[in-house]
Amino acid sequence: MLNYLNENKKIHKLNKFYINSNQKKFYKHNLLFFFYYKLKYLIFGLVYYFWELCFNFGKIYSLLKLRGVYKNNTALVLGNGPSQELISTNELQEFIKNGGKLFVVNYWFLNKKIRNIVPNFLVLSDSRVVTRNNNKFFKKNNDQLKKYIRKNKDMKIICPIRMEKQIQKIIRPDRIICFCDSELNNFTSNIKPIFPRGYLSMTVYKAIAMAVWFSFKKIFVLGVDNTYPKNIYVDIDNQLYNHEIHAGKTFKETSLVNISEQYSSMSDFLYETSLLFRDAHKLNVNNNIMNLDEHSLTDAFPKIKYYKDILKKIAN
């Protein structure tokens, strides 16, 4: 009991941020509402894909030509979860030197221990990370991200078609790989990036889906901890807060993000989190994805216990 109280006191002393959301997520069990919501969702997804297909076919065709291009290579997809701390700069350097391809996502460079490594691919999917944003949560990192992208010229940027124009303001077009980001979750289980997604929008899942599309012979993941059920807190006003844990940050450097603009209740948050775990199972279509974090809550992929020099071994 005392540990529970102390934990909450400690957590609520952290810096707090608010993220505005244009689309509040809520799940009602009323049958009529359910069908209305699903129909609206289906129509929006199809219209969005029609736009992607008809007005951006050249980008989709370019992505088609990349199918199977890395069939003789091994990929490592790094999420930004706490287990990213297992890895070292030297191990990543050896992995890339031996032919391995490294995928990272979003603000991965916040981990100062390994950010000197230049990944092969940086995957972005939230337009707020590259646009001018007055929200303190994004503003403090966006300028760093743009500098990081400009500086590392050998790094490819993978992003949704709708974000390409924003990315082109930062770098030349030949460094950008675009994918379809229309979503028809619950209507399809598709993970091919030339069709609408059949899984929830999560950047690291999109990175894994791209690695599958490139046909890597083996795909390893680390930092895909999905610790959301452990990191949710509620205050006296029943406001929901997510404890934002990022690899490379101390506890005092972490923050609380108010997500009540996104979720109407705790039940909605936990329901969508359950879908997140469900959708991870859709990604391993070739049974060649392995998780290097033995403690990860993500149970969709077989696990291998991380040990020193494992990256050197799996890169070949």
**Counted domains in the chain:** 1
pLDDT tens readout for residues 157-175: 999 999 999 899 899 999 9
Of the chain, the percentage scoring pLDDT greater than 70 comes to 92
Q: What is the average per-residue pLDDT within 64-85? A: 92
pLDDT computed for residue 24 by the predictor: 58
Residue 22 has pLDDT above 60, yes or no: no
pLDDT computed for residue 19 by the predictor: 65
Residue 250 has pLDDT above 80, yes or no: no
Helix (H) or strand (E) holding 222: strand 218-222
pLDDT computed for residue 37 by the predictor: 75
- The whole domain housing 64 covers 2-314
CA distance 58 to 54: 9
Enumerate the β-bridge partners of residue 177.
158
From residue 150, alpha-carbon distances to 145, 171, 175 in Å are: 9, 6, 11
Interhelix angle 203-213/266-283, rounded to 10 degrees, is 10
> Rounded mean pLDDT of the chain?
87
Helix (H) or strand (E) holding 234: strand 232-234
Residue 217 has pLDDT above 60, yes or no: yes
Rounded to two decimals, the pTM is: 0.90
pLDDT tens readout for residues 39-60: 888 999 999 999 999 999 999 9
pLDDT computed for residue 218 by the predictor: 95
pLDDT computed for residue 127 by the predictor: 75
Of the chain, the percentage scoring pLDDT greater than 90 comes to 50
Q: Which two tokens stand for residue 157?
A: 């940027």
The answer to whether 119 and 155 have CB atoms below 8 angstroms apart is yes
Residue 213 has pLDDT above 90, yes or no: yes
Report the amino acid identity of residue 115.
Answer: R
